[in-house]
């Protein structure tokens, strides 16, 4: 019974934190939406370099992992494959 109350309390606190974080200021990206639109191949490349982008984001404010100016689902699909999503690349590292 004590564990159940603790779990409910934890969920309640998590919901409050998520609610407070959802009130964050919106980022204006209009300047990013001009010029070249990235498609599947751009998403694939950005997926491959995502770990390096993550490190770059820590030290620089002008580095992002995901192109704001993309064509939607094809970019997202390429990014997913490029970042090793769905376990395409991780499967080879498993020992049998």
Number of other residues whose CB lies within 10 A of the CB of residue 47: 23
Q: Tell me if 90 is assigned to some domain.
A: no
The angle formed by the CA atoms of residues 84, 22 and 47, to the nearest 5 degrees, is 15
In a domain, 5, yes or no: no
d(CA 38, CA 57): 20
What total of structural domains would you count in the chain? Answer: 1
In a domain, 3, yes or no: no
CA dist 46 and 54 (Å) reads 11
pLDDT value for 85: 72
In a domain, 79, yes or no: yes
Domain annotation covers residue 14: no
Report, as an integer, the average pLDDT of 47-64. Answer: 84
Domain of residue 73, residue span: 37-85
Decide: residue 13, CB within 10 A, 0-12 exposed, 13-18 middle, 19+ buried: exposed
DSSP character for 64? -
Looking at the DSSP assignment, which residues form a beta bridge with residue 38?
70
The Cα 66–Cα 76 span in angstroms is 9
Reported pTM = 0.55
Average pLDDT over residues 40-69: 85
Query: Is residue 47, in this structure, part of any structural domain at all?
Result: yes
- Domain assignment present for residue 65? The answer is yes
Within-domain flag for 62: yes
Does 91 have pLDDT greater than 70?
no
Residue 90 reports pLDDT greater than 70:
no
First-to-final CA distance of the chain: 41
């Amino acid at each position: 019974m004590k564990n159940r109350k603790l779990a409910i309390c934890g969920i309640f606190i998590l919901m409050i934190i998520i609610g407070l974080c959802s009130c964050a200021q919106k980022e204006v990206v209009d300047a990013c939406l001009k010029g070249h639109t990235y498609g599947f191949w751009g998403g694939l490349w950005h997926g491959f370099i995502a770990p390096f982008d993550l490190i770059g984001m820590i030290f620089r404010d002008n580095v992002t992992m995901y192109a704001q100016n993309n064509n939607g689902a094809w970019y997202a699909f390429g990014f997913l494959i490029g970042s090793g999503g769905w376990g395409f690349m991780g499967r080879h590292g498993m020992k049998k």
